[in-house]
């Protein structure tokens, strides 16, 4: 069983993996034997990422690249292939969210979210697919969201993008499955990261933050997820263990999507 989950000899590109969910997935890939490549939009973020990987004992390769720029992505993939090796695994992790009521959101703000969260995965996938076809296969993992299935106030652009990413995942699987390319998604639930820390801080009276209470009540697991909760699912979808899994979104949400919620007392 160990061999089918091994990523030994594989080159994995995880976009936006200087920190957070992407960093946790990259660490898991490294422990499974993969060579890690990541990008970020600024050199300072790449440098911070490289330092974090070094602290974990991981030799990672970091590059500056705007994943919404098709020419830059094509140049990045060519550079990785020349300096590191052919990309066997792509994780489209880079993303943004703008929490703005839809009637207050500008079209430019909406387009920016769509550009990063949907157009960029299209651009990056398009860049690696030809080489994967030539080599007889590959793995593409898109970081989707519960908002691929649900709506919520203030996240119209994000939900639209993640819903689109779910369908892009299915279409890549449909179009390139015959070439032994598996494209699947991971849909994280609410994950405890530095970015969500303010939502989990205790109130002055010692009570939970209202949003924290809301998430705990909506989650059968009764807790926030951790970035490490995504490690196993990501390795599974990147390994030979998932060779007949294609076009699927694996929701790692503690059961939120299966749960209607508790009846009010």
For the chain, percent of residues with pLDDT exceeding 70 = 100
For the chain, give the mean pLDDT: 96
d(CA 28, CA 232) in angstroms, rounded, equals 8
d(CA 135, CA 148) in angstroms, rounded, equals 31
Between the two ends of the chain, the Cα-to-Cα distance in Å is 47
Structure confidence at residue 196 (pLDDT):
84
User: How confident is the model over 169-178, as a mean pLDDT?
Assistant: 98
What residues act catalytically?
Answer: 158
Angle at 60 between CA 185 and CA 57, to 5 degrees: 110
Structure confidence at residue 2 (pLDDT):
83
pTM: 0.96
Structure confidence at residue 81 (pLDDT):
98
Contact present, 150 and 257 (Cβ < 8 Å): yes
**Is it the case that residue 195 has pLDDT exceeding 80?**
no
The residue behind tokens 């015959």 is 178
d(CA 137, CA 134) in angstroms, rounded, equals 8
Band (pLDDT 50/70/90 cuts) for residue 39 is very high
Band (pLDDT 50/70/90 cuts) for residue 67 is very high
Structure confidence at residue 186 (pLDDT):
98
**Is it the case that residue 265 has pLDDT exceeding 90?**
no
**Is it the case that residue 264 has pLDDT exceeding 80?**
no
**Is it the case that residue 134 has pLDDT exceeding 80?**
yes
User: How confident is the model over 43-54, as a mean pLDDT?
Assistant: 98
Among 124-128, 134-138, 212-216, the range scoring the smallest mean pLDDT is: 212-216
**Is it the case that residue 50 has pLDDT exceeding 80?**
yes
Tens digits of per-residue pLDDT, 68-100?
Answer: 999 999 999 999 999 999 999 999 999 999 999
Q: In angstroms, how far apart are the furthest CA atoms of the chain?
A: 62
Band (pLDDT 50/70/90 cuts) for residue 217 is very high
Neighbours of 56 (CB within 10 A): 12
Structure confidence at residue 104 (pLDDT):
98
User: How confident is the model over 95-123, as a mean pLDDT?
Assistant: 97
Structure confidence at residue 6 (pLDDT):
98
Six-digit token string for 123: 């651009």
Band (pLDDT 50/70/90 cuts) for residue 105 is very high
Structure confidence at residue 193 (pLDDT):
86
């Amino acid at each position: 069983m160990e061999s089918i989950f091994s990523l030994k000899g594989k080159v994995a590109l995880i976009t936006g993996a200087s920190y957070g969910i992407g960093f946790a997935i990259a660490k898991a890939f490294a422990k499974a034997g993969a060579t890690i490549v990541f990008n970020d939009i600024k050199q300072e973020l790449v440098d911070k990422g490289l330092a974090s990987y070094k602290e974990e004992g991981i030799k990672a390769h970091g590059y500056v690249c705007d994943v919404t720029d098709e020419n830059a992505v094509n140049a990045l993939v060519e550079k990785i292939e020349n300096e590191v090796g052919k990309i066997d695994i792509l994780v489209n992790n880079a993303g943004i969210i703008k929490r703005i009521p839809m009637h207050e959101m500008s079209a430019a703000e909406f387009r920016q979210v769509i550009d990063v969260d949907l157009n960029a995965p299209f651009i990056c996938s398009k860049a690696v697919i030809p080489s994967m076809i030539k080599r007889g296969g590959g793995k593409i993992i898109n970081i989707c969201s519960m908002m691929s299935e649900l709506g919520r106030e203030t996240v119209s652009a994000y939900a639209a993008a993640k819903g689109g990413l779910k369908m892009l995942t299915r279409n890549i699987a449909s179009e390139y499955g015959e070439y032994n390319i598996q494209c699947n998604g991971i849909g994280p639930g609410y994950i405890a990261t530095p970015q969500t820390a303010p939502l989990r801080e205790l109130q002055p009276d010692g009570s939970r933050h209202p949003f924290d209470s809301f998430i705990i009540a909506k989650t059968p697991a009764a807790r926030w997820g951790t970035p490490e909760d995504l490690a196993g699912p990501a390795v599974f979808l990147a390994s030979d263990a998932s060779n007949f899994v294609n076009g699927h979104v694996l929701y790692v949400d503690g059961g939120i999507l299966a749960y209607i919620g508790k009846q009010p007392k």
